[in-house]
Amino acid sequence: MKIINYIFLLLSLPFFIGCEVHENYDRTAFFPTKEETPITIPHKQNVWVFLLAGQSNMAGRAFIEPQDTIPNERILTINSHNELILAKEPLHFYEPGLTGLDCGLSFGYSLLKTIPENITVLLLPTAVGGSSIAQWINDAYHRNVKLYSNFKDKITLGQEYGIIKGILWHQGENDATSSETIEVYKEQLKILFDLFRKDADDLNLPILIGELGSFSIVDTNVLAINRQIREYVKTDKNAFLIKTDDLKDNGDKIHFDSEGQREMGKRFAYKFNYVHNINSDR
């Protein structure tokens, strides 16, 4: 009997010791099996568009659970053919062998709690894992995606369906690898965000910037990038910081876990609501 119990414990282990093991066990176990299209496309004035940009923590590497695939008619995204569909995780499709849960759907659901009932949220994924900020600025190809051209295409698509309301940005792990890239990161943020706003035709477009994760092994380079982000935010009245220092990783000391991604989505939404309310009162 003891041997049988021991075998059962070994077989059951992956299901009890956390999402990190789940991801290795079957990363796609709860990926949705079909796309759903919206019954009606809302009027352009009633669609708020948000672009999700950056590298892997915005593209998503966390384990997707059934709760992350429940659609809502008021939260839309696109598929790889730029067709409107109901949003389900994973939203990003550029790296099918890597992509997992990002913060987008959590952001959308959190927004629905506070925005007018006639508003639909459109989430446009543009993040690609491993990309540096210089690659974004220089419109380089990375993992078969021409980064800035793809972003501009999504701006155009967003303007076709609605009003660009903000950009969610999470990037910097790649630039934390050397003192040279860390030193210029603040200036690079300004260059890139100026381009974002110019092409979105809104020089006051809110850009919400997530800090890199401060996980159990303290990385001085990561902390240095976060200082650069905080310093940049002080210089840009339309840039806003999303703190992440209390969130956990998925076991690799780089990527947020599922709970962290959902919480980050909530924080992006909270910050956007704060910004939107201030601007509405002006």
DSSP per-residue codes, 138-158: TT-EETTEEHHHHHHHHHHHH
CA–CA distance, 226 with 140 (Å, rounded to integer): 24
Task: Name the residue with higher pLDDT: 3 or 76.
Answer: 76
Of 7-21, 165-179, 184-198, the range with the lowest mean pLDDT is 7-21
pLDDT for 113-129, tens place per residue? 999 999 999 999 999 99
- Residue 2 predicted with pLDDT over 50: no
Q: What pTM value is reported for the model?
A: 0.91
Distant-in-sequence, close-in-space partners of 71: CB < 8 Å, separation ≥ 6: 36, 86, 87, 88
pLDDT score at 77: 99
Coil/strand/helix, residue 55: coil
pLDDT score at 268: 98
Paired sense of beta strands 239-242 and 84-86, if any: unpaired
- Nearest CA-CA partner of 19 in 60, 53, 51: 60
pLDDT for 203-249, tens place per residue? 999 999 999 998 845 589 999 999 999 999 999 999 999 999 999 99
Residues 56, 129: contact at Cβ < 8 Å? Answer: yes
- Nearest CA-CA partner of 48 in 177, 165, 140, 175: 165
pLDDT score at 219: 85
CA–CA distance, 237 with 234 (Å, rounded to integer): 7
pLDDT for 77-114, tens place per residue? 999 999 999 999 999 999 999 999 999 999 999 999 99
pLDDT score at 252: 92
pLDDT score at 33: 94
Of 16-20, 155-159, 262-266, 271-275, the range with the lowest mean pLDDT is 16-20
Q: What is the pLDDT averaged over residues 264-271?
A: 98
- Name the architecture of domain 2-281: 3-Layer(aba) Sandwich (3.40)
- Residue 147 predicted with pLDDT over 70: yes
pLDDT score at 4: 37
Q: What is the pLDDT averaged over residues 17-26?
A: 48
Angle separating helix axes 185-200 and 147-161, nearest 10 degrees: 40
pLDDT score at 6: 35
pLDDT score at 215: 83
- Nearest CA-CA partner of 31 in 111, 83, 93, 84: 93
The domain spans of the chain are 2-281
Is the dihedral angle over the CA atoms 77, 79, 81, 83 positive or is it negative? negative
pLDDT score at 277: 83
In angstroms, what CA-CA distances link 108 with 104, 162, 173?
Answer: 6, 15, 25
Evaluate the omega torsion of the peptide bond into residue 90 and state whether it is cis, within 30 degrees of 0. Answer: yes
